[in-house]
Amino acid sequence: MALACLFAAPVSAKSLEDAKWIEVTTPNFQIRSLLGKTKTVDMARHLELLQVAVSDFTNIEITASPVPTYIYAVRSEKDFDIFNIDDGVAGVFQAKIRDNTILIRDTRGMDESAIIMHEYVHFLLRNHGGFNYPRWYDEGFAEYFGASKIHGKKFEVGIASDHRIPGLALSKWIEGDELLSSTAFSDLDDDDKSMFYGQAWLLVHYLQHSEENSVVVADAINKYAALIAEGAGEIESFERAFQIEASSLEETLDTYMRKERTKYYSIPIEKLLPEFSPTIRKLSREEAALGLAQLAVRRGDLSIAQEWFEIALTRGETRARALSGMGVVQYSLGENEKAEQQLKEGLSLEPENPAMHLNMANYWIARAKTASLPSARDEFLGFARSNLLAAWKIDSTIPEIYAMNGATQSLETIEHQAAAAT
C-alpha cells in the first residue's frame, strides 16, 4: 500500500484509550476513529460507494461480507508503533475468519480512504467465490479504484493516478508477456514491482475508457476465466478474450497514456447509494480500550491487549467482553486455569453473545490439542461442540462456527488414525 511523506498530530500510544474516539457504523462497516466526525463519515460513505461500484463494474454479485469489517483510524505514526507495524506503512488490512480488520493512520496529502481502497478491492474481488483474477487485473483494478474520489455529489472513478503517471513516463516498462503472465512479486525484479502496478493500472484504465477498445470488460474477464479453465495459457487467454495482441500491448498503452488517460466516470452518488444514514456516537474510555484490546489480539500483541482489557473490565457494559478477551490472552500465554475462569465468567454475563461461546470453544480445542489422555481430549472436544452448538443457535450465519466444528472432527480423526496405526 502506498506510503510516503506521512504526517500526523502526536498521540501517546500509552494513552490511546484516552483520546477522543467516535464510532461510525454503516451496513457494511464499523469505524472507530480519531479523525473527527466529518472525515470519518466521508470515509464510511466512500467505502459504501466502493462496495456498490465494484459490483457494477464487474457484473459480479458483491454480497455483504459474511463477517463484519472493523476499521480503526488513528492520527499518528507513533500510534502504529505499538502494533509493531513497519515504519512508513499507512494502512493494514487483515481478513480473518471472524472479522476483517483495517487499521489506518492520518496522512498528509493522501485520502485515508484511498489507503485502504486498494486492499479492500482485493477482498471484494476474491470474496465472490467464482474466479481467481489474473494478477494484472487484480492489482490494476485495485489501483483503479484506489484513486476514486467523492467530488460534491459525484463519485469519480478512473481519475489518473498522480503517483503512477510520473513513473510510467520516465521508467522502462515491463514487456507485455511478463505483465500478463506474472502471478507473484517473486516473478519480478525489485525495479519492476512499482512499474507492474503502474502498467496494470493503465491497462485496466485503457480497457474501461479507451474509444478503441470495443470489448466489454466484464464479459471479457469471464471469457478469460473460461479459457484458463480449458487449459489455455495466460497470454493466449488474454489475446482471445480482450482482442489485443500481447506483442503490441506496450505500444497500445503508451499511445493511450499520452492521448486519453484523463478520462474518468462521474457517477451521481444518489444513483449508487440512495440512502446513507450512518450511526455516530462517542466512545467511552472503556469502550475505546476494549476495541483497542481486541485489535491488539488480532495483531498478536498480547501484552498491550491485556493492559487495555484491564481498563475495559472497570465498566459494566464492557466487562463481559473484556473478561472473555482476557481469557483468550491467558490461554494464549499458557495460563489455562485463569483463562477458563475468565472465559466462563464472561460467558455467564453475556450468554446470548455468540463470540463468548466461540472464545470458549477455541479454548477447549486448544486444550484438546495438548491433552495427554484420549479421555481428556474427548471431554474437551465435547465441551467445544457444546459451545459451538450454543453459538449456532444464536447465529447460524457465522462462518467460524463451521470451521471450528470441522476442527473438532479433524482432531478426533487424527487421534483415531494414530491409535489405529499403533
Quick check: 176 pLDDT over 60? Answer: yes
Q: Say which residue the cell 480512504 belongs to.
A: 113
The pLDDT assigned to 129 comes to 55
* CATH, range 285-421: 1.25.40.10
Q: Is the pLDDT of residue 9 over 50?
A: no
Predicted local confidence at residue 162, as pLDDT: 66
**Mean pLDDT value of segment 369-385:** 94
Q: CB count, 10 Å around CB of 405? A: 17
Q: Which residues pair with 415 in a beta bridge?
A: none
pLDDT at residue 294 tops 80: yes
Query: Mean pLDDT over residues 208-223, rounded?
Result: 89
Structural element, H or E, at residue 253: helix 249-259
Identical topology for domains 1-129 and 131-271: no
Cβ(308)–Cβ(50) under 8 Å? no
Partnered with residue 69 across adjacent β-strands are 100
Q: Does domain 1-129 have CATH number 3.40.190?
A: no
CA 175/CA 101 separation, integer angstroms: 36
Confidence of residue 230 (pLDDT cuts 50, 70, 90): very high
What top-level class would CATH report for the domain 131-271?
mainly alpha
Angle formed at CA 143 by CA 140 and CA 149, multiple of 5 degrees: 140
CA distance 150 to 147: 10
Beta strand 100-105 pairing with 69-74: parallel
Tens of pLDDT, residues 59-100: 666 656 778 889 999 887 778 878 877 766 777 888 888 998
Burial tier of 5 (Cβ tally within 10 Å: 0-12, 13-18, 19+): exposed
Q: For residues 324-345, give the mean pLDDT.
A: 96
pTM equals 0.81
Return left, alpha or beta for 334; rule: phi > 0 is left, psi -120 to 50 is alpha, else beta.
left
Give SS3 for 284: coil
Report pLDDT digits (tens) over 243-277. 999 999 999 999 998 887 778 899 999 999 999 99
Cα 220 to Cα 379: distance, rounded to the nearest angstrom: 54
Q: Which residues contact 141 (CB under 8 A, 6 or more apart)?
A: 58, 121, 125, 133, 204
In the chain, what are the domain boundaries?
Answer: 1-129, 131-271, 285-421
**Helices H, strands E: what count in the chain?**
18, 9
Predicted pLDDT of residue 67:
85
